Structure 1
């Protein structure tokens, strides 16, 4: 064998050994990360495929046997801020990682809305990314503030998002928000609900201090949201085609419509509670307008999600930044921990 041939063989051997070594290092690193999570008490995250396949119809009593919970993982490490999924029946079980990062997320009808951080040389920016059922990007839009809320209509056609334009908390008064609604059928974007006509007490209402947040869709044409003005918050019902919002009730924030469309879960300011933790989870019956206070006594600064027709999920501060809890919507039972290190859940088929 010539010297040139021997060198070629040697080079090939070196490349193979290098590949084996790299694979071993990657495998060991993955095992080490999983071991560290387990030792730290954090959930186990595994590679896999996450999809947003919609159920045939909205759940009314319990998730389907094949239903999954998709949410933002808050576990420290390479999968922090990544969308993960778990069986709806086992929310604390091993997580399947998606490789898609989102700060805020929601999904329905095979459509996802992901509010994402975009690192930059001068500073980070943010964008709203519309995802298909396989978490592939369909379109994206720049955001003019910090992501805080997102929702998708039951059919998957309409999406909405809210950002903080100034400030970063709903507890005080020194903040400003912008809420947008997008029709993915026509790609028409209503950049700000502040452009809609406001009807209060049967009359057109105008004020420079108007803010909107927390959209929840009834269908592709109608929604509920929070309106803040004059130091008060109101539940409003919106009409996309007419571009109007009409006040319904005072002291309602971050509404979330039940799967059957008859009740709204929301956070209510309660007199006497601390200024930085003023809310209690409450459910409003839209037919009788009767309110039911839930058994969660801690202040919940979140837009709750209906896991099914009788159970709500919401986030509370935790060791990793946030944990998911659940409570019955009828005012009974006790709150229970769903899973740690998690935010922004959605139930998908």
Structure 2
């Protein structure tokens, strides 16, 4: 397999090799190359220790030195470089208690989540290292855990959400024993941090097969752990989300079946920002239409003075404006001055 890499990455790879270190392309970047997809971010792995990586380049950022991760900045691009490592003791269902740096790419690949992500390309030799048959999983479009699925998922429960997300992004099915473990563990394992769940949910909803991913989360019982309301209408709602909807519209449509108070509580629990919540609720209240959501009294094609000229005064003018706005948003009338004047006369003067 030929791996084409950009110039800004070639310089980094050459530096490692010139200094006698091993350097590999790993993770999602290699998976996407095998799939023939455009690679957004290149992830590298090396047997050089984090301090050594920092010393090899003029501009680096320490984003996770304890876990071996250093960002190397090259020609305006951020490249994540991680030292090969072994892990053990995932007591918080997310982070390993023990991290041991090593020289063995096989050890490093064995700690990864799914076989499609446990492949490495050795830049020194030009060969693929694939101890868990990840290339076969990619060819067959199937998500399979590395090693024992229950153990792998319990180590880091975010992997449960990642499985659903990958199915949405890639359109892959889930291998039988991995699926059984997901179904068994989801109702009772310790959930990851809300911020991380939100990140995975957003990535899932961006996927071409987002309905498949959402259905997995519902069927595995994860939504019932995040949302207190009755969820019996969720499957139908998921089915009816238009494929043409963008990310915010998809999220708004999905949550629209919840009681209004539950919408706020759920979005806040998942760490959506106030601005994001306002946008989502605006879409829910306006039939998922951005144009209607953006309408305010100031958008009306008739001014308060023009309403006053019809003989109205005081608070009734504001009430008329809100009435017109509601009629426009419900798509009963058009926002045109002659139509608005006719509605006012019919509703308030006849």
User: TM-score interval w.r.t. the shorter chain?
Assistant: under 0.3
Higher relative contact order (CA 8 A, sep 6+): 1
Structure with the greater alpha carbon radius of gyration: 2
Q: Where is the helix percentage greater, Structure 1 or Structure 2?
A: 2
Q: Where is the strand percentage greater, Structure 1 or Structure 2?
A: 1
